[in-house]
Structure 1
Amino acid sequence: MKSQVRGGTRWKRFAVVMVPSVAATAAIGVGLAQGALAASFSISGQEFKVKAQTLEGTNFVQYGSVDAGKTLDDKAFAAPVAVSGFSTAYITNMCQSVVTPKVPFLGDITLRLEAGGEGAKDPDQRVYAKDIYLDVSDLKADAEFGNIDIGVAAGQLNGGNKNKPGIQPGTPADRVYQNGFSQRAETAKLSNVEQKAWATTAATFKLPDLKLSLHRGTDAECYKG
Protein backbone atom coordinates (compact mmCIF):
# COMPACT_ATOMS: atom_id res chain seq x y z
CA MET A 1 0.00 0.00 0.00
CA LYS A 2 1.43 3.33 -0.99
CA SER A 3 1.59 6.33 1.27
CA GLN A 4 -1.39 8.57 0.70
CA VAL A 5 0.64 11.74 0.99
CA ARG A 6 3.39 11.95 -1.61
CA GLY A 7 6.37 14.24 -1.41
CA GLY A 8 9.46 14.78 0.72
CA THR A 9 9.94 13.20 4.12
CA ARG A 10 12.68 14.63 6.35
CA TRP A 11 13.97 12.66 9.34
CA LYS A 12 16.44 14.37 11.67
CA ARG A 13 19.20 12.06 12.91
CA PHE A 14 17.78 9.08 11.04
CA ALA A 15 18.98 5.99 12.96
CA VAL A 16 18.57 2.58 11.34
CA VAL A 17 18.89 -0.89 12.68
CA MET A 18 15.87 -1.93 10.60
CA VAL A 19 15.16 -5.45 11.77
CA PRO A 20 11.36 -5.79 11.99
CA SER A 21 11.12 -9.14 10.21
CA VAL A 22 13.85 -11.65 9.38
CA ALA A 23 16.55 -9.88 11.34
CA ALA A 24 14.87 -10.21 14.73
CA THR A 25 16.87 -12.50 16.97
CA ALA A 26 14.21 -15.19 17.10
CA ALA A 27 14.02 -15.25 13.31
CA ILE A 28 17.73 -15.53 12.55
CA GLY A 29 17.61 -19.32 12.73
CA VAL A 30 14.60 -19.37 10.41
CA GLY A 31 16.38 -17.07 7.96
CA LEU A 32 19.42 -19.32 7.87
CA ALA A 33 17.32 -22.45 7.48
CA GLN A 34 15.43 -20.94 4.56
CA GLY A 35 18.54 -19.41 3.01
CA ALA A 36 17.30 -15.83 3.36
CA LEU A 37 20.81 -14.43 3.43
CA ALA A 38 21.56 -10.90 2.28
CA ALA A 39 25.05 -10.99 0.79
CA SER A 40 25.63 -13.34 -2.14
CA PHE A 41 28.91 -14.44 -0.53
CA SER A 42 30.12 -15.56 2.90
CA ILE A 43 30.98 -12.36 4.76
CA SER A 44 34.25 -11.77 6.59
CA GLY A 45 34.32 -11.73 10.37
CA GLN A 46 35.10 -8.01 10.39
CA GLU A 47 32.46 -5.30 10.44
CA PHE A 48 33.62 -2.04 8.83
CA LYS A 49 32.76 1.63 9.31
CA VAL A 50 31.83 4.21 6.68
CA LYS A 51 31.56 7.95 7.21
CA ALA A 52 30.40 10.44 4.57
CA GLN A 53 29.49 14.10 4.36
CA THR A 54 26.56 13.37 2.03
CA LEU A 55 25.01 10.48 0.12
CA GLU A 56 22.46 11.23 -2.60
CA GLY A 57 20.75 8.24 -4.19
CA THR A 58 17.94 7.30 -6.56
CA ASN A 59 15.47 4.40 -6.29
CA PHE A 60 16.23 3.66 -2.64
CA VAL A 61 15.06 0.32 -1.20
CA GLN A 62 15.56 -1.25 2.21
CA TYR A 63 14.55 -4.57 3.75
CA GLY A 64 15.66 -6.80 6.62
CA SER A 65 17.80 -9.89 6.15
CA VAL A 66 20.64 -11.94 7.62
CA ASP A 67 24.32 -12.22 6.68
CA ALA A 68 26.39 -15.28 7.55
CA GLY A 69 30.11 -15.93 7.75
CA LYS A 70 32.93 -16.91 10.09
CA THR A 71 34.75 -14.93 12.74
CA LEU A 72 38.51 -14.43 12.65
CA ASP A 73 38.86 -17.48 14.89
CA ASP A 74 36.84 -19.57 12.39
CA LYS A 75 33.52 -19.75 14.25
CA ALA A 76 30.30 -19.58 12.25
CA PHE A 77 28.03 -16.63 12.99
CA ALA A 78 24.98 -14.81 11.66
CA ALA A 79 24.36 -11.06 11.72
CA PRO A 80 21.05 -9.21 11.26
CA VAL A 81 21.27 -6.47 8.62
CA ALA A 82 19.20 -3.84 6.89
CA VAL A 83 19.95 -4.22 3.18
CA SER A 84 19.89 -0.79 1.54
CA GLY A 85 19.96 -0.52 -2.26
CA PHE A 86 20.21 2.34 -4.76
CA SER A 87 20.11 2.52 -8.56
CA THR A 88 22.69 5.31 -8.33
CA ALA A 89 24.48 6.93 -5.41
CA TYR A 90 26.79 9.95 -5.22
CA ILE A 91 28.91 10.32 -2.08
CA THR A 92 31.07 13.21 -0.88
CA ASN A 93 34.03 12.98 1.47
CA MET A 94 33.81 9.24 2.06
CA CYS A 95 35.92 7.38 4.61
CA GLN A 96 35.95 3.62 5.18
CA SER A 97 37.88 1.85 7.92
CA VAL A 98 38.26 -1.63 9.35
CA VAL A 99 40.31 -2.78 12.33
CA THR A 100 42.17 -6.09 12.36
CA PRO A 101 42.83 -6.89 16.02
CA LYS A 102 45.87 -8.48 17.61
CA VAL A 103 48.10 -8.82 14.55
CA PRO A 104 51.21 -10.73 15.71
CA PHE A 105 54.03 -8.38 16.82
CA LEU A 106 52.01 -5.31 15.75
CA GLY A 107 48.78 -5.24 17.74
CA ASP A 108 45.63 -3.70 16.28
CA ILE A 109 45.92 -2.46 12.67
CA THR A 110 43.46 -0.05 11.04
CA LEU A 111 42.97 -0.02 7.28
CA ARG A 112 41.62 3.38 6.20
CA LEU A 113 40.31 4.32 2.76
CA GLU A 114 39.34 7.86 1.70
CA ALA A 115 37.80 9.14 -1.56
CA GLY A 116 35.65 11.95 -2.92
CA GLY A 117 37.15 14.56 -0.63
CA GLU A 118 36.69 17.32 -3.20
CA GLY A 119 33.17 16.24 -4.11
CA ALA A 120 31.51 19.11 -2.22
CA LYS A 121 33.35 21.60 -4.45
CA ASP A 122 33.36 19.65 -7.72
CA PRO A 123 30.46 17.23 -8.48
CA ASP A 124 32.74 15.26 -10.81
CA GLN A 125 34.90 14.38 -7.80
CA ARG A 126 32.12 12.64 -5.90
CA VAL A 127 32.25 8.90 -5.31
CA TYR A 128 29.82 7.23 -7.72
CA ALA A 129 28.13 3.85 -7.38
CA LYS A 130 25.67 2.07 -9.67
CA ASP A 131 23.32 -0.70 -8.50
CA ILE A 132 24.80 -0.66 -5.02
CA TYR A 133 23.63 -2.74 -2.05
CA LEU A 134 24.86 -2.22 1.50
CA ASP A 135 24.35 -4.74 4.31
CA VAL A 136 24.06 -2.31 7.21
CA SER A 137 24.03 -3.11 10.93
CA ASP A 138 23.87 0.48 12.20
CA LEU A 139 23.32 3.87 10.56
CA LYS A 140 23.07 7.40 11.91
CA ALA A 141 22.42 10.37 9.60
CA ASP A 142 20.17 13.30 8.76
CA ALA A 143 17.87 11.97 6.03
CA GLU A 144 15.40 13.31 3.48
CA PHE A 145 13.33 11.01 1.24
CA GLY A 146 11.30 11.85 -1.85
CA ASN A 147 8.06 9.90 -2.47
CA ILE A 148 8.60 7.25 0.18
CA ASP A 149 6.52 4.10 0.70
CA ILE A 150 6.88 2.41 4.11
CA GLY A 151 5.60 -1.11 4.73
CA VAL A 152 5.88 -2.45 1.19
CA ALA A 153 6.06 -6.25 0.84
CA ALA A 154 9.72 -6.96 0.08
CA GLY A 155 8.85 -8.98 -3.01
CA GLN A 156 7.09 -5.95 -4.49
CA LEU A 157 9.87 -3.41 -4.00
CA ASN A 158 10.47 -2.78 -7.69
CA GLY A 159 6.84 -3.27 -8.72
CA GLY A 160 7.92 -5.70 -11.43
CA ASN A 161 10.21 -3.11 -13.06
CA LYS A 162 13.54 -4.87 -13.58
CA ASN A 163 15.24 -1.50 -14.13
CA LYS A 164 14.64 -0.63 -10.47
CA PRO A 165 16.25 -2.29 -7.45
CA GLY A 166 14.41 -4.93 -5.48
CA ILE A 167 15.68 -7.90 -3.51
CA GLN A 168 19.45 -8.12 -4.04
CA PRO A 169 20.26 -9.96 -7.30
CA GLY A 170 21.63 -13.45 -6.78
CA THR A 171 19.25 -14.20 -3.91
CA PRO A 172 16.80 -16.93 -5.05
CA ALA A 173 13.23 -15.65 -5.05
CA ASP A 174 11.97 -18.69 -3.15
CA ARG A 175 14.44 -18.05 -0.33
CA VAL A 176 13.34 -14.52 0.53
CA TYR A 177 10.52 -13.34 2.76
CA GLN A 178 8.50 -11.99 -0.14
CA ASN A 179 5.89 -10.50 2.21
CA GLY A 180 8.35 -9.16 4.78
CA PHE A 181 8.55 -5.48 5.73
CA SER A 182 10.44 -3.11 3.43
CA GLN A 183 10.47 0.51 2.32
CA ARG A 184 11.35 2.40 -0.85
CA ALA A 185 11.72 5.98 -2.07
CA GLU A 186 12.36 7.65 -5.41
CA THR A 187 15.16 9.76 -3.92
CA ALA A 188 17.18 9.74 -0.72
CA LYS A 189 19.64 12.28 0.67
CA LEU A 190 21.65 11.43 3.77
CA SER A 191 23.98 13.89 5.49
CA ASN A 192 26.53 13.42 8.28
CA VAL A 193 26.52 9.67 7.71
CA GLU A 194 28.04 7.22 10.19
CA GLN A 195 27.46 3.61 9.22
CA LYS A 196 28.56 0.12 10.20
CA ALA A 197 28.22 -2.63 7.61
CA TRP A 198 29.18 -6.21 6.87
CA ALA A 199 29.18 -6.11 3.06
CA THR A 200 28.82 -3.85 0.02
CA THR A 201 28.25 -4.87 -3.60
CA ALA A 202 27.96 -2.63 -6.66
CA ALA A 203 27.92 -2.96 -10.44
CA THR A 204 30.15 0.13 -10.66
CA PHE A 205 32.12 1.89 -7.92
CA LYS A 206 34.10 4.99 -8.91
CA LEU A 207 36.45 6.43 -6.28
CA PRO A 208 38.09 9.75 -7.28
CA ASP A 209 41.29 10.70 -5.44
CA LEU A 210 41.46 7.36 -3.64
CA LYS A 211 43.81 7.16 -0.66
CA LEU A 212 44.53 3.95 1.27
CA SER A 213 46.63 3.78 4.42
CA LEU A 214 47.49 1.44 7.30
CA HIS A 215 47.83 2.58 10.91
CA ARG A 216 48.79 0.98 14.19
CA GLY A 217 46.07 1.12 16.81
CA THR A 218 42.50 2.35 16.32
CA ASP A 219 42.93 6.14 16.29
CA ALA A 220 42.61 6.24 12.48
CA GLU A 221 39.09 4.81 12.42
CA CYS A 222 36.65 6.98 10.47
CA TYR A 223 34.72 7.63 13.67
CA LYS A 224 34.55 6.33 17.22
CA GLY A 225 31.68 4.33 18.59
Structure 2
Amino acid sequence: MRVEGRVRWARFALVFVPGAVVIAMLVGAIMNGAIGAAFVVSNDKIKAAAAEVRQGPFSSYGGYVVNAEGDRIPVLVNNVTHLTAIDFCQSVVMSTPVGPVTLRVTGGHDRPVVVKDLTTYEIMLAGDITYYGLEVGRDAATLDNVPGKSGPPGVFGQQGTSGVIKNFREVSWAVTAAMFNVPDAKLTVRRDGPECF
Protein backbone atom coordinates (compact mmCIF):
# COMPACT_ATOMS: atom_id res chain seq x y z
CA MET A 1 0.00 0.00 0.00
CA ARG A 2 1.52 3.32 -1.12
CA VAL A 3 1.53 6.27 1.28
CA GLU A 4 0.27 9.50 -0.34
CA GLY A 5 1.49 13.01 0.41
CA ARG A 6 5.18 12.42 1.01
CA VAL A 7 7.66 15.08 -0.08
CA ARG A 8 10.76 13.99 -1.94
CA TRP A 9 13.14 16.50 -0.40
CA ALA A 10 15.96 15.96 -2.87
CA ARG A 11 13.66 16.71 -5.81
CA PHE A 12 12.11 19.65 -3.94
CA ALA A 13 15.55 21.15 -3.29
CA LEU A 14 16.56 20.60 -6.91
CA VAL A 15 13.60 22.71 -8.06
CA PHE A 16 13.35 25.24 -5.20
CA VAL A 17 16.97 26.25 -4.56
CA PRO A 18 17.82 27.55 -8.08
CA GLY A 19 14.57 29.54 -8.16
CA ALA A 20 15.25 31.04 -4.75
CA VAL A 21 18.79 31.99 -5.82
CA VAL A 22 17.50 33.73 -8.98
CA ILE A 23 14.86 35.63 -6.99
CA ALA A 24 17.47 36.69 -4.42
CA MET A 25 19.79 37.89 -7.20
CA LEU A 26 17.00 39.89 -8.87
CA VAL A 27 15.93 41.51 -5.60
CA GLY A 28 19.57 42.35 -4.82
CA ALA A 29 20.08 43.82 -8.29
CA ILE A 30 17.00 46.00 -7.98
CA MET A 31 18.02 47.21 -4.51
CA ASN A 32 21.54 48.02 -5.73
CA GLY A 33 20.42 49.78 -8.90
CA ALA A 34 21.76 47.21 -11.39
CA ILE A 35 18.18 46.98 -12.59
CA GLY A 36 16.24 50.18 -13.15
CA ALA A 37 13.12 51.30 -11.31
CA ALA A 38 11.33 48.40 -9.63
CA PHE A 39 8.33 48.96 -11.91
CA VAL A 40 7.73 49.23 -15.65
CA VAL A 41 7.70 52.89 -16.70
CA SER A 42 5.11 54.47 -18.98
CA ASN A 43 6.03 56.22 -22.22
CA ASP A 44 5.24 59.62 -20.66
CA LYS A 45 8.10 61.65 -19.20
CA ILE A 46 7.74 63.70 -16.00
CA LYS A 47 8.78 67.35 -15.78
CA ALA A 48 9.51 69.08 -12.47
CA ALA A 49 10.39 72.71 -11.76
CA ALA A 50 10.97 74.89 -8.71
CA ALA A 51 12.27 78.36 -7.91
CA GLU A 52 14.76 76.78 -5.50
CA VAL A 53 15.65 73.29 -4.30
CA ARG A 54 17.79 72.60 -1.22
CA GLN A 55 18.92 69.02 -0.74
CA GLY A 56 20.84 66.97 1.78
CA PRO A 57 23.29 64.14 1.05
CA PHE A 58 22.89 62.69 -2.44
CA SER A 59 24.35 60.09 -4.79
CA SER A 60 23.99 59.51 -8.54
CA TYR A 61 25.03 56.78 -10.94
CA GLY A 62 24.30 55.48 -14.42
CA GLY A 63 21.43 53.05 -14.82
CA TYR A 64 18.32 52.34 -16.87
CA VAL A 65 14.57 51.88 -16.67
CA VAL A 66 12.42 49.44 -18.65
CA ASN A 67 9.18 50.25 -20.48
CA ALA A 68 6.30 47.94 -21.42
CA GLU A 69 7.99 47.05 -24.72
CA GLY A 70 11.05 45.84 -22.82
CA ASP A 71 13.27 48.69 -24.00
CA ARG A 72 16.10 49.68 -21.66
CA ILE A 73 16.20 53.46 -21.39
CA PRO A 74 19.44 54.97 -20.01
CA VAL A 75 19.01 57.32 -17.04
CA LEU A 76 20.92 58.90 -14.20
CA VAL A 77 19.66 57.34 -10.97
CA ASN A 78 19.67 60.21 -8.47
CA ASN A 79 19.15 59.48 -4.74
CA VAL A 80 18.58 62.24 -2.17
CA THR A 81 18.05 61.73 1.57
CA HIS A 82 15.84 64.82 1.90
CA LEU A 83 15.07 68.06 0.09
CA THR A 84 12.86 71.13 0.17
CA ALA A 85 11.47 73.00 -2.83
CA ILE A 86 9.90 76.46 -3.21
CA ASP A 87 7.27 77.20 -5.89
CA PHE A 88 7.11 73.57 -6.99
CA CYS A 89 5.54 72.26 -10.20
CA GLN A 90 5.31 68.73 -11.64
CA SER A 91 3.65 67.84 -14.93
CA VAL A 92 3.21 64.96 -17.32
CA VAL A 93 1.52 64.86 -20.73
CA MET A 94 -0.51 61.65 -20.76
CA SER A 95 -1.61 59.74 -23.84
CA THR A 96 -5.38 59.15 -23.51
CA PRO A 97 -8.27 58.07 -25.78
CA VAL A 98 -9.24 61.77 -26.08
CA GLY A 99 -5.74 62.85 -27.04
CA PRO A 100 -2.87 64.40 -25.07
CA VAL A 101 -3.88 65.47 -21.55
CA THR A 102 -1.63 67.42 -19.16
CA LEU A 103 -1.66 66.43 -15.49
CA ARG A 104 -0.12 69.27 -13.48
CA VAL A 105 0.51 69.64 -9.74
CA THR A 106 1.69 72.87 -8.11
CA GLY A 107 2.32 73.91 -4.52
CA GLY A 108 4.92 75.01 -2.00
CA HIS A 109 4.39 78.74 -2.48
CA ASP A 110 4.09 79.89 1.15
CA ARG A 111 5.58 76.77 2.77
CA PRO A 112 8.19 74.57 1.06
CA VAL A 113 7.55 71.14 -0.38
CA VAL A 114 9.33 68.49 1.75
CA VAL A 115 10.53 65.18 0.31
CA LYS A 116 12.32 62.28 2.05
CA ASP A 117 14.25 59.36 0.53
CA LEU A 118 13.77 60.55 -3.04
CA THR A 119 14.95 58.66 -6.12
CA THR A 120 14.57 60.09 -9.62
CA TYR A 121 15.44 58.34 -12.86
CA GLU A 122 16.33 61.49 -14.77
CA ILE A 123 17.41 62.37 -18.29
CA MET A 124 17.79 66.14 -17.85
CA LEU A 125 18.67 68.52 -15.01
CA ALA A 126 19.15 72.28 -15.37
CA GLY A 127 19.47 75.33 -13.16
CA ASP A 128 22.01 77.33 -11.18
CA ILE A 129 23.63 74.47 -9.26
CA THR A 130 25.91 74.58 -6.23
CA TYR A 131 27.07 71.26 -4.75
CA TYR A 132 29.07 70.80 -1.53
CA GLY A 133 31.41 67.95 -0.61
CA LEU A 134 31.31 66.69 -4.20
CA GLU A 135 33.02 63.48 -5.40
CA VAL A 136 32.76 62.82 -9.15
CA GLY A 137 33.89 59.66 -10.93
CA ARG A 138 33.65 57.37 -7.93
CA ASP A 139 32.74 53.70 -8.51
CA ALA A 140 28.97 53.49 -8.03
CA ALA A 141 29.29 50.41 -5.82
CA THR A 142 31.28 52.42 -3.25
CA LEU A 143 28.84 55.35 -2.89
CA ASP A 144 27.93 55.76 0.77
CA ASN A 145 26.34 59.20 1.28
CA VAL A 146 22.82 57.76 0.92
CA PRO A 147 22.51 54.53 2.95
CA GLY A 148 21.47 51.51 0.87
CA LYS A 149 21.62 53.41 -2.43
CA SER A 150 24.86 52.35 -4.09
CA GLY A 151 25.02 51.31 -7.73
CA PRO A 152 26.53 48.41 -9.67
CA PRO A 153 30.33 47.87 -9.61
CA GLY A 154 32.38 49.62 -12.29
CA VAL A 155 29.67 52.16 -13.15
CA PHE A 156 30.27 55.92 -13.01
CA GLY A 157 29.05 57.49 -9.78
CA GLN A 158 29.10 60.77 -7.90
CA GLN A 159 27.95 62.01 -4.52
CA GLY A 160 27.90 65.10 -2.32
CA THR A 161 26.99 66.26 1.15
CA SER A 162 24.40 68.88 0.08
CA GLY A 163 23.29 71.08 -2.78
CA VAL A 164 21.31 74.17 -3.79
CA ILE A 165 19.66 74.47 -7.21
CA LYS A 166 17.97 77.72 -8.22
CA ASN A 167 15.65 77.85 -11.25
CA PHE A 168 15.45 74.03 -11.00
CA ARG A 169 14.21 72.07 -14.03
CA GLU A 170 14.25 68.30 -14.41
CA VAL A 171 12.93 65.66 -16.81
CA SER A 172 12.69 62.06 -15.59
CA TRP A 173 11.09 58.73 -16.44
CA ALA A 174 10.13 57.80 -12.87
CA VAL A 175 10.14 59.15 -9.32
CA THR A 176 9.91 57.34 -5.98
CA ALA A 177 9.91 58.77 -2.45
CA ALA A 178 9.26 57.60 1.09
CA MET A 179 7.41 60.88 1.77
CA PHE A 180 6.34 63.72 -0.54
CA ASN A 181 4.54 66.62 1.16
CA VAL A 182 3.15 69.43 -1.05
CA PRO A 183 1.51 72.28 0.94
CA ASP A 184 -1.31 74.13 -0.83
CA ALA A 185 -1.29 71.55 -3.62
CA LYS A 186 -3.37 72.15 -6.73
CA LEU A 187 -3.95 69.45 -9.36
CA THR A 188 -5.30 70.21 -12.83
CA VAL A 189 -6.07 67.86 -15.72
CA ARG A 190 -6.46 69.65 -19.05
CA ARG A 191 -6.42 68.66 -22.69
CA ASP A 192 -3.36 70.37 -24.23
CA GLY A 193 -2.79 72.13 -20.88
CA PRO A 194 0.47 73.92 -20.01
CA GLU A 195 3.47 71.95 -18.71
CA CYS A 196 5.81 73.22 -16.00
CA PHE A 197 8.28 74.36 -18.67
TM-score between both structures, scaled by the size of structure 1: 0.69
**Which has a greater percent of helix?**
2
SS of residue paired to 2:141: helix
**Map of 1:158 onto structure 2:** 144
- Find the aligned partners of 1:178 and 1:166 in 2 and give their Cα distance: 14
Which of 127, 149, 156 is matched with 1:167 structurally? Answer: 149
SS of residue paired to 1:155: helix
**Map of 1:56 onto structure 2:** 54
Which of 102, 111, 127 is matched with 1:141 structurally? Answer: 127
SS of residue paired to 1:202: strand
| 1:85 maps to 2:71 | no
- Find the aligned partners of 1:78 and 1:86 in 2 and give their Cα distance: 23
Which of 118, 133, 155 is matched with 1:180 structurally? Answer: 155
| 1:67 maps to 2:68 | no
**Map of 2:196 onto structure 1:** 222
**Map of 2:166 onto structure 1:** 191
Which AA in structure 1 matches 2:196? C
**Matched-pair contact (CA < 8 Å) for 1:65–1:82:** yes
How many residues are aligned here?
166
Which AA in structure 2 matches 1:142? D
**What's the offset of the Cα at 1:42?**
1.5
Structure 2, unmatched stretches of 5+, are: 1-28
**What's the offset of the Cα at 1:107?**
2.5
- Find the aligned partners of 1:179 and 1:77 in 2 and give their Cα distance: 22
Cα root mean square deviation, aligned:
1.9
**What's the offset of the Cα at 1:38?**
2.4
**What's the offset of the Cα at 1:177?**
2.4
Structure 1, unmatched stretches of 5+, are: 1-30, 119-124, 169-175
Higher radius of gyration, 1 or 2: 2
Which of 166, 169, 178 is matched with 1:203 structurally? Answer: 178
